[in-house]
Amino acid sequence: MKNAALCVFAILAFVSKVFANEITLYTNISPPYQEKKGDEVTGLSIDMLKCVFDKLDLDYKVSITPWLRAKINVRDGLGAGYFTAGLSKETEEYATLSAPLALEKWYWYFTDTQLKKDKIGVIRGSTQDEWLAENSTSEIIQVNKFNQLFQMVKSNRVNAFLSDQKTFDNQIKLSQIDASKIKSKFFKYTPLGVYFSNKFLDSSTNVLNEFNKAIPDCRTEAISLSEQEKQIIHNIAKSQVMTWLNH
């Protein structure tokens, strides 16, 4: 009986290890959360993921791909998930969002005296792009690179563009863009996590729960918050937990 139990344990451990080696997460370059330095992928979200998976003793790999392709791959079962992502009605049909890895502070960036939103610029496939597609009636102009947003708003091809504050500040620093004439207006906080494929979660009992439990011990400056902001994200996380419990 003892030998049979040991045999079962060994098989389960082997299967678990094999599956762990197959965990593929997709992302795109979005400094300072995901950055490419030579052959290495670094950044605030990358550091948090490494910490979380180390705590879970699970192997994983990160594959760089455009946002839209990342979502299609996860939808089609070609990977375990993608990050960092905000809540999306479309993605909710085939994936489940983890607890927040980062809290983005979204701002409108514009050059006019007053903020107008007739035409809005956005990075194609980004979290902002998804949110606007689901919530805005404005004309959305999609681009592939961040510096194109600056060019469009300066030339009045768009009234404004929507971006995370850290991403904006990082692009200004990296590209040495003159942003002296660009105004900003705070819009909203957006928590970002990992969207795990429901197919992956169905075959990986309790992984999401353990993943979420490990996040608080791995906080980095990806979530650098005032007391008020901590309360906001606490309320968001509490709301998500209640949603999961009611399913």
How high is the pLDDT of residue 131?
A: 94
Per the prediction, the chain carries an average pLDDT of: 85
What is the C-alpha to C-alpha distance for residues 124 and 208, in angstroms, rounded to an integer?
28
For residue 140, the SS3 value is: strand
Contact assessment for residue 176 and residue 133, using Cβ atoms and an 8 Å cutoff: no
List 95's β-bridge partners, or say none: 197
Q: What is the pLDDT of residue 30?
A: 86
CA distance 225 to 211: 21
pLDDT for the residue 78: 94
pTM of the model as a whole: 0.76
- The burial of 126, by beta-carbon neighbours within 10 Å (0-12 exposed, 13-18 middle, 19 or more buried), is given as buried
Give yes or no for residue 230 having a pLDDT over 50: yes
Contacts of 133 (CB under 8 A, 6+ apart): 140
Angstrom CA distances, 164 to 7, 18, 30, 31, 189, stand at: 51, 37, 10, 10, 9
**CA distance between the termini of the chain:** 39
Indicate whether 160 pLDDT > 50: yes
Residue-wise pLDDT tens digits, 183-223? 999 999 999 999 999 999 999 888 999 999 999 888 765 55
pLDDT value of residue 50: 94
Contact 148, 109 (CB under 8 A): no
Return the minimum-mean-pLDDT range out of 30-44, 58-72, 130-144: 30-44
Query: What type of residue sits at position 43?
Result: G
Cα separation, 177 vs 152, whole angstroms: 13
Place of tokens 């863009």: 177
Q: Which of 86-100, 164-178, 196-210 has the lowest mean pLDDT?
A: 164-178
Span 25-50, average pLDDT: 90
Q: How confident is the model at residue 125 (pLDDT cuts 50, 70, 90)?
A: confident
pLDDT at 10: 43
Q: What is the pLDDT of residue 13?
A: 46
